[in-house]
Structure formats: C-alpha cells, structure tokens
C-alpha cells in the first residue's frame, strides 16, 4: 500500500515576521500550527549550528 502524500515546507518560511531571537524552536512552534503539515525541511548547518547531538 502506498504511503499517504505529505505536506512539506521549508522551515525558513516560518521566520518571516518573527521579531527578537529567531530560534529553531520558535520556527518549529510556528510550523506546528499549520494544519496538515507533516514535514519540514531543515537547512544544514543553518538550523543546526547551535545544537549538539
């Protein structure tokens, strides 16, 4: 059985209009508000340069 199609967006789109400290967490929180969004595209190293394993 084929997988259901997903709905994706670049995470950078969710920094538009944000003021102050634009963090990965804030962009993910905004993305989580989009109905039906199932995938986000992270840019390396941009979105991961302040994280550790």
14-47 pLDDT, tens digit per residue, is 999 999 988 888 999 999 999 999 999 888 777 7
Q: Is the pLDDT of residue 3 over 90?
A: no
Give me the pLDDT at residue 32, please: 95
Give me the pLDDT at residue 29, please: 94
Q: Where are the domains of the chain?
A: 1-53
Give me the pLDDT at residue 53, please: 67
Q: Which residue has the higher pLDDT, 44 or 8?
A: 8
Give me the pLDDT at residue 1, please: 63
Q: Render the burial of 12-49: b for 16+ CB within 10 Å, e for the rest.
A: eebeeeeeeeeebeebeebbeeeeeeeebeeeeeebee
């Amino acid at each position: 059985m084929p997988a259901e199609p997903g709905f994706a967006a670049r995470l950078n789109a969710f920094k538009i209009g944000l003021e102050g400290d634009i963090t990965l967490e804030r962009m993910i929180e905004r993305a989580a508000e989009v109905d039906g969004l199932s995938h986000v595209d992270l840019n390396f190293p941009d979105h991961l340069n302040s994280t550790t394993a």
